[in-house]
Structure 1
Amino acid sequence: MQEPPAQEATNKEASNAPTAPDGAWIIDVRGLTKRYGARAVVDDVDIQLAPGRICGFLGPNGSGKTTTIRMLCGLLTPDAGEGTCLGLDLRRDALRIKRQVGYMTQRFGLYEDLSIRQNLDFVGRLFELPHRKRAVDDALERLGLVGRQHQLAGSLSGGWKQRLALAACLIHNPRLLLLDEPTAGVDPKARRDFWDQIHQLAAQGITVLVSTHYMDEAERCHELVYIAYGKVLARGTERDIVQGAGLHVAEITGTLSAAQDAALRAAPGVQSVAAFGTSLHVTATDPAALQAALVPLRNQSGLHVRPANANLEDVFISLIGRAKDNYGNG
């Protein structure tokens, strides 16, 4: 069976893109492209994001997420494409965009030999804040850092470093936050506290574009953009993406032999076989092909096969399996 091209998922999901009130997009970019040599790291990407929305930016390592974020905040110049960020032209107004965006990098980027307060004061100086002490006090209070304000940043745990980095992003009251894998390396409670804070910020009208590898975090976003090898493969709400993928899923519980597992993965029409705890999810776009692949496993002692609903991880595993790796092009 011939698999549908990944681009079809892109076209289907494009129709589910949200509409900004009165066209007031916070991010509105089209055809965004960045090349290194002959390789397009970001290839013809469109993103539109309305005020107060949380958009999850998902994709494997090397998919172009960080490069896209850096173009949006004015740190990189696109090789092609156009659009606006905060109503400012992505090319002509890069310096103005930088001053109105909060950008949180993958790695902790503040000074570890300075205290929390000293770091925030330094960031306030960079933004030339007119009431810097008040801004620092507000940032400390906002993120629950008052009791630790004199602690050296280098002595903080991952979760507290994350809070400090977010406080630094917010000190100049940006309208847009660009967060590049902000929860990598922090414990589950710190991740949950972080996401509670992000939703509070969105409720105040701040727009958030956040890249993540975690499916539980993706489920907490208002909408999602999935990118692989520089191309957008799907976008929309979680429901849009799952329904638009057209996947049929079976769940298998029990232990398969190595030969059975290999045969299942090689069966015509099967797109992915992925472990979820003690079970396997088998996905296909053709229900007949899925049923045919499962025939050898039915009525076998110790194995249980039943229909299941597709989830985000099923969809993304399917999408990445169909995407074309562009690494060899550069």
Structure 2
Amino acid sequence: MNNFIEIHNLVKKYGKEIILNNVDLTLKKGEIIGLIGPSGAGKTTTIKTALGMEKADSGSALVLGKQMPNRKILGEIGYMAQSDALYTSLTGAENLEFFGEMKGVAKKDIAEQIEYVAEVVDLTDALDKYVKEYSGGMMRRLSLAIALLSYPKLLVLDEPTVGIDPALRIKIWHELNNLRSQGCSVLITTHVMDEAEKTDRVALLLHGEIIAFDHPQVLEQNYGVPTIEDVFLKAEQKEREK
């Protein structure tokens, strides 16, 4: 299986409003793809529809070769939503243990995995605190740690570094690159344009349509600009002029 995500002609409507308009997207094994676009462009809807959390009006989406939702492959996918879904009356460690069991992590392995993911997101010293005492940034880090449990084949991360300081962001990207080298694939949405530069391919989503999708350097050459941020601004301007 070469493609860990395959999306073809995906259409999603809310009433008469078209949110996704014939979206095509593939994510290969061992690849990091960035999905960028302004708020309301359809990034989160693309993710939710692919994962079976939203029902498409037409088109198809396969994740690890399966139509979602599919409980059998749940443990192979690490998903981090844009909003944190945590148990605030539990400690960080208790949240990780609970979600680890949900993802099928063996009891004998859970302590080791919690130690590993907590170190990646710099939460080791806060594991015994109740989540209701966490800051917003700490909650984001805990959500990312949960996504990393069970050494997933596929990571789907919706704005994972919002509220995270630059030093930790660098550390997280180091871990994502390490996972990619081991064959893990990552689909990440982000508003941080320098993060989009770190991806293997970046998709520009505007008004529910992917208007460009290629290696960051190729897009910069095609649009004659030095950065992905400039690519997006120029592509957006061209769309307005149509």
**TM-score for both structures, normalised by structure 2:** 0.89
- One-letter amino acid of the counterpart of residue 62, structure 1: G
Trace 1:150-165 onto structure 2 (pairs within 5 A): 150-165=128-143
Structure 1 residue 181 displacement after superposition? 0.7
Aligned residues: 238
Secondary structure at 2:188 match in 1: strand
2:60 pairs with 1:82: yes
Structure 1 residue 108 displacement after superposition? 2.2
Structure 1 residue 149 displacement after superposition? 2.1
Partner of 2:228: 312
Asked whether the equivalents of residues 117 and 149 of structure 2 are also in contact (C-alpha less than 8 Å), the reply is no
Equivalents in 1 of 2:59, 2:196: separation in Å? 27
Partner of 1:123: 99
| Larger gyration radius, structure 1 or structure 2 | 1
Secondary structure at 2:87 match in 1: coil
Secondary structure at 2:3 match in 1: coil
- One-letter amino acid of the counterpart of residue 78, structure 2: G
Secondary structure at 1:78 match in 2: coil
Asked whether the equivalents of residues 85 and 97 of structure 1 are also in contact (C-alpha less than 8 Å), the reply is no
Equivalents in 2 of 1:132, 1:38: separation in Å? 48
Secondary structure at 2:189 match in 1: strand
Partner of 1:134: 109
Asked whether the equivalents of residues 91 and 131 of structure 2 are also in contact (C-alpha less than 8 Å), the reply is yes
Equivalents in 1 of 2:55, 2:99: separation in Å? 24
Q: Could you give the per-residue CA deviations for residues 275-302 of structure 1, whole angstroms, max 9, x where no partner exists?
A: xxxxxxxxxxxxxxxxxxxxxxxxxxxx
Equivalents in 1 of 2:103, 2:74: separation in Å? 10
Q: Could you give the per-residue CA deviations for residues 135-186 of structure 1, whole angstroms, max 9, x where no partner exists?
A: 2431322431444321222333444433321221122332111100111122
Asked whether the equivalents of residues 55 and 224 of structure 1 are also in contact (C-alpha less than 8 Å), the reply is yes
Alignment partner for residue 55 of structure 1, among 30, 33, 36? Answer: 33
Secondary structure at 1:323 match in 2: helix
Query: For the aligned residues, what is the CA RMSD?
Result: 2.1
Instruction: Sort the Cα spacing of 1:220 and 1:207 in 2 relative to 1 into closer, same or farther, 3 A.
Output: same
Equivalents in 2 of 1:134, 1:98: separation in Å? 18
Equivalents in 1 of 2:40, 2:115: separation in Å? 34
Equivalents in 2 of 1:240, 1:107: separation in Å? 32
Equivalents in 2 of 1:98, 1:134: separation in Å? 18
Structure 1 residue 69 displacement after superposition? 0.5
Asked whether the equivalents of residues 29 and 183 of structure 2 are also in contact (C-alpha less than 8 Å), the reply is yes
Trace 1:215-234 onto structure 2 (pairs within 5 A): 215-234=193-212
Instruction: Sort the Cα spacing of 1:133 and 1:151 in 2 relative to 1 into closer, same or farther, 3 A.
Output: farther
140-149 vs 178-187, which deviates more? 140-149
Query: Which consecutive residues of structure 1, in runs of 5 or more, have no partner in the other structure?
Result: 1-22, 248-308, 326-330
Alignment partner for residue 118 of structure 2, among 134, 143, 167? Answer: 143
Query: Which consecutive residues of structure 2, in runs of 5 or more, have no partner in the other structure?
Result: none
Kindly indicate whether structure 1 or structure 2 has the higher relative contact order, using CA contacts under 8 Å at least 6 residues apart. Answer: 2
**Identity in percent:** 33
Equivalents in 1 of 2:33, 2:209: separation in Å? 17
Asked whether the equivalents of residues 30 and 46 of structure 1 are also in contact (C-alpha less than 8 Å), the reply is yes
Instruction: Sort the Cα spacing of 1:107 and 1:172 in 2 relative to 1 into closer, same or farther, 3 A.
Output: same
2:89 pairs with 1:113: yes
Partner of 2:180: 202
Equivalents in 2 of 1:139, 1:133: separation in Å? 12
